[in-house]
C-alpha cells in the first residue's frame, strides 16, 4: 500500500502566514503539520509516500521533510490544483494499481489512521473513508451511513443529511481511477473527491465509513492552528534536556537539548525547542517556542512562535508569529494584543 499526501494548496484562509510558505509546513507543537501525516502513515506500515506539490510548495515541503529517512518520498507536480480528485489523477502513474491512503497534508489525528487502513485491508472494499461527527457539517463533505457502509455523499450541503463529516483520510483501491477518469468539474470548478466516491457508490461498489478515534483537526484557520497546538502540547512528553538556570519549570514542559531558559517561569503544557532562548520572561500554558526563537523580557501564553521569531518587551496571548517575525516593545508595555504575523514581519507596539 502507498501513501499520497496532498500539499499543493494555497492555504488562503491562513494568510498572511501562507503568503511565503504552504500550510503543511507550519509548525504546530514544534513540528511541521505534514510531519504528523508522515508519522501516521509510517505507523500504519506505509513507507512509500508520494507528495503532491505545486511549483510554489515543492521546495518548502522538501525542506520540511529533510532528514526523515524512514520513508521513501516521491514528489508529484500538480501545477494548477483543481480539487482532490484532480490530485489523484495527477498521481495516477505513480500510484499504479496499488491501493493507497490519500491524506490531506493539513489534517491532524490524535489516534492516527490505523483503523481505516486495517478495515480496508480486512474487507477489501473499493474505499474506506474516515468520518467524524461535527456540530456544523456544512463546510465539509457529508456522509450518510447505513450498517457501516456509506450510501450517499454530499459536498458542503446547505441542508446536511447527517452530521458525519468526511475527515482528511481516504483509503482507495484502484477502482477509483476509472471513476476519476470520467469525472467532470463541479459547480465551483473543481474535481471533487466526494463526486468520485459517489461514482463508486453508483457503480455498486462498497465504501466503508470508519469513525475517527480521538480528536481530529482541519487546520484551515489561525484559531484551528492554535487549538491543534493546545491538543498536541497536552500529549507531549515533558522533560528538561536544555540549559535551565534560575527558573521555574512547571509540569508538562519540554525544554529540548540546545534550548536555554534563564530567570524565567515556564508553565506547561509548553515546548521550548532546540536553539530557543527564554530569558527574564514568562511562557504560559499552550505555548510552543520554535527553534531559534527568543522570548526576552516578555510574557507569552497560548501562542505559536515559529523559527527565529522574537518577542521582546510585550505580552502576547493567542498569537502566531511566523519565521523571523518580531513583536517588540517600542516605548511602554502595551495592552495584550493578538497577532498573526507572517514570516519576517515586525510589529512595534507602543
Cα 341-344-345 angle, rounded to 5 deg = 45
* Segment 210-231 mean pLDDT: 87
User: CA–CA separation, 196 vs 190, rounded Å?
Assistant: 12
pTM: 0.87
Evaluate whether 175 touches 126 at the Cβ level (below 8 Å).
yes
User: CA–CA separation, 74 vs 71, rounded Å?
Assistant: 10
Percent of the chain whose pLDDT exceeds 70? 91
Confidence class for position 25, pLDDT limits 50, 70, 90: confident
**Which CATH homologous superfamily contains domain 238-349?**
Hexapeptide repeat proteins (2.160.10.10)
Class of domain 2-232: alpha beta
For 217, counting Cβ atoms within 10 Å of its Cβ (0-12 exposed, 13-18 middle, 19+ buried), the class is buried
pLDDT of residue 250: 94
Q: Does the structure show a pLDDT above 70 at 342?
A: no
- On the question of a common fold for 2-232 and 238-349, the answer reads no
| C-alpha of 340 from chain center | 17
Q: Is 186 left (phi over 0), alpha (psi -120 to 50) or beta?
A: beta
Burial 227-257 (b: 16+ CB within 10 A, else e): bbbbbbbeebebebebebeebebeebbbbbe
* Segment 322-337 mean pLDDT: 69
Evaluate whether 114 touches 45 at the Cβ level (below 8 Å).
no
Domain boundaries, the chain: 2-232, 238-349
Of 49-53, 57-61, 190-194, the range with the highest mean pLDDT is 49-53
Cell for 213? 478515534
Burial 148-157 (b: 16+ CB within 10 A, else e): eebeebbbee
pLDDT of residue 13: 62
Q: What is the pLDDT of residues 266-312, one digit of tens each?
A: 998 999 999 999 999 999 999 999 999 999 999 999 999 999 999 99
Evaluate whether 182 touches 200 at the Cβ level (below 8 Å).
no
Amino acid at each position: 500500500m502507498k501513501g499520497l499526501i496532498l500539499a499543493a494548496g494555497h492555504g488562503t484562509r491562513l494568510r498572511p502566514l501562507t503568503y511565503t510558505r504552504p500550510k503543511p509546513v507550519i509548525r504546530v507543537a514544534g513540528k511541521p503539520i505534514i510531519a504528523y501525516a508522515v508519522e501516521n502513515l509510517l505507523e500504519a506500515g506505509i513507507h512509500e509516500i508520494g507528495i503532491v506539490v505545486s511549483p510554489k510548495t515543492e521546495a518548502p515541503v522538501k525542506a520540511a521533510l529533510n532528514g526523515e529517512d524512514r520513508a521513501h518520498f516521491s514528489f508529484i507536480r500538480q501545477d494548477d490544483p483543481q480539487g482532490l480528485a484532480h490530485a489523484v489523477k495527477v498521481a495516477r502513474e505513480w500510484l499504479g494499481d496499488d491501493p493507497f491512503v490519500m491524506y490531506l497534508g493539513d489534517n491532524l489525528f490524535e489516534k492516527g489512521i490505523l483503523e481505516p487502513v486495517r478495515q480496508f485491508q480486512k474487507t477489501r472494499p473499493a474505499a474506506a473513508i474516515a468520518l467524524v461527527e461535527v456540530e456544523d457539517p456544512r463546510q465539509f463533505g457529508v456522509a450518510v451511513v447505513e450498517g457501516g457502509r456509506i450510501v450517499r455523499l454530499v459536498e458542503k450541503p446547505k441542508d446536511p443529511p447527517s452530521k458525519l463529516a468526511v475527515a482528511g483520510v481516504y483509503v482507495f483501491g484502484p477502482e477509483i481511477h476509472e471513476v476519476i477518469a470520467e469525472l467532470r468539474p463541479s459547480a465551483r470548478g473543481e474535481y471533487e473527491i466526494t463526486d468520485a466516491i459517489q461514482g463508486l457508490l453508483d457503480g455498486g461498489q462498497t465504501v466503508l465509513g470508519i469513525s475517527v478515534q480521538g480528536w481530529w483537526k482541519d487546520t484551515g484557520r489561525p484559531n484551528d492552528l492554535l487549538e491543534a497546538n493546545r491538543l498536541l502540547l497536552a500529549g507531549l512528553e515533558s522533560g528538561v534536556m536544555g540549559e535551565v538556570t534560575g527558573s521555574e519549570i512547571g509540569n508538562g514542559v519540554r525544554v529540548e537539548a540546545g534550548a536555554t531558559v534563564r530567570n524565567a517561569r515556564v508553565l506547561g503544557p509548553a515546548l521550548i525547542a532546540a536553539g530557543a532562548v527564554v530569558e527574564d520572561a514568562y511562557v504560559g500554558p499552550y505555548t510552543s517556542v520554535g527553534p531559534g526563537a527568543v522570548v526576552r523580557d516578555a510574557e507569552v501564553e497560548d501562542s505559536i512562535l515559529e523559527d527565529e521569531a522574537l518577542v521582546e518587551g510585550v505580552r502576547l496571548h493567542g498569537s502566531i508569529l511566523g519565521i523571523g517575525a518580531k513583536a517588540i516593545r517600542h516605548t511602554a508595555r502595551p495592552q495584550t494584543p493578538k497577532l498573526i504575523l507572517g514570516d519576517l514581519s515586525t510589529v512595534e507596539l507602543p
